[in-house]
Amino acid sequence: MGLTCQSCGKALLNDKFNIKLGNHEAFVIALAGNPNVGKSTVFNALTGLKQHTGNWPGKTVTNARGHYTHKDKEFMLVDLPGTYSLLANSVEEQVARDFICFGKPNATVVVVDATCLERNLNLVLQVMELTDHVVLCVNLMDEARRKGISVDLDTLQKSLGIPVVGTTARSGEGLTNLMDEVHDISLGLKITSPKNINYSKDIEEEIKGLVPKLENIFGNTLNPRWVALRLLEGDQTLLDSIHQFLYTEIYSNKDTEVACFYE
C-alpha cells in the first residue's frame, strides 16, 4: 500500500483528480493509448451510457470516466488523454502520467492498434516501467486481418510479461476476455512480470545508486527505478507533481529529503 492507505487513495482521487467514487469498493481502471487506436470505442463499449465528463483539475483537458460491472464487481474506467508517451512534453502526457503514477489505478489498460504495433509499443513499455498492473489491449484486430496482418498474441504476451488481449471494440470481439484480465489483475488474482528494460552500464550504475535513497523517501508509494530514470533526465515536471500529489503524504521526517530534489 505504500505510505498512503486505501481510504487516503480514494480521497486523493476526489481531491486531486476530481474523480468521485459513488461505490468506495469500486476498482479504478486507467485506459491509456496513442491517439486513433480505438481507445474511445473501447471505453464506450465497456461503459455504455454510464459515463461522466468534466475537466482534469486545473487543466483544459477532458476527464471522461464511466462504470461497468463484471463478475459482481464494479469498475470505474478513466479514459486518459491520447498520448504517444509519458514523458510529459504536453499537458495530455502529464495528465496521463500523473494519473497512472499518483492516482494509483488498480489496473492500467493500454490500447494499441493491431495494424501498427511498432508505433504503439513505446507507450506500452513506458507504462510497464511505471506499474506492473498492466493489461495490453490489441484493438482493431479486424483491420489487421483485412490487411493480411497476423498478430501472435501469445508470443507478445510472453515477450512483454503482461496479459495481452485481442479486440475489435466496435463489434464487441474480445471485450469479455479483456474484462476478465482486468478483473484478475485488479483483485490480485494474477501476478504479472513486465519485461525489464535495461539501459547502458553508466545509466544502470546511476539508477543503482539512486534507488535505495528513493526507497527510503517514498517507500513503495512510487516505483523507485522509474523515478530514478526521470530524475536522471532532469524531469522538473515530475518533481512538481511529487510536490502536488505526495508532498503532504510523506512522513514529516522525510520532508527535507524530498525538498533536496529541488535544489
Across the beta sheet with 107-113, the strand order is: 51-55, 62-70, 73-79, 27-33, 107-113, 134-139, 164-166
More confident residue, 32 or 53: 32
Give the residue from 186, 209, 231 where a domain finishes.
Answer: 186
**Looking at the structure, do residues 130 and 207 belong to the same domain, yes or no?**
no
What are the pLDDT digits (tens) for 231-261?
999 999 999 999 888 875 544 444 444 444 4
Residue 224 domain-assigned (yes or no): yes
Q: Is the CB of residue 88 less than 8 Å from the CB of residue 235?
A: yes
d(CA 10, CA 70): 21
List all residues 6 or more positions away from 259 whose beta carbon is below 8 Å from its beta carbon: none
Q: C-alpha dihedral over 24, 183, 149, 196, to 10 degrees?
A: 90
d(CA 120, CA 144): 14
More confident residue, 126 or 6: 126
**Looking at the structure, do residues 205 and 258 belong to the same domain, yes or no?**
yes
The three grid cell numbers given for residue 182, joined into one nine-digit string: 482486468
CATH number for the domain spanning 172: value is: 3.40.50.300
Provide the number of structural domains found in the chain.
Answer: 2
**Looking at the structure, do residues 211 and 165 belong to the same domain, yes or no?**
no
Residue 192 domain-assigned (yes or no): no
Give how far Cα 248 sits from Cα of 52, 82, 235, 258, Å: 29, 30, 21, 11
**Looking at the structure, do residues 159 and 248 belong to the same domain, yes or no?**
no
Residue 133 domain-assigned (yes or no): yes
Q: How many CA atoms lie within 13 A of 60 on its CB side?
A: 1
Residue carrying the nine cell digits 489491449: 137
Q: How would you class 237 by CB atoms within 10 Å of its CB: exposed for 0-12, middle for 13-18, buried for 19 or more?
A: middle
Residue 191 domain-assigned (yes or no): no
Q: Which domain holds residue 124?
A: 6-186
What are the pLDDT digits (tens) for 76-91?
999 999 999 999 889 9
**Looking at the structure, do residues 207 and 182 belong to the same domain, yes or no?**
no
**Looking at the structure, do residues 95 and 221 belong to the same domain, yes or no?**
no
**Looking at the structure, do residues 211 and 159 belong to the same domain, yes or no?**
no
What are the pLDDT digits (tens) for 148-192?
999 999 999 999 999 999 999 999 999 999 999 999 999 999 989
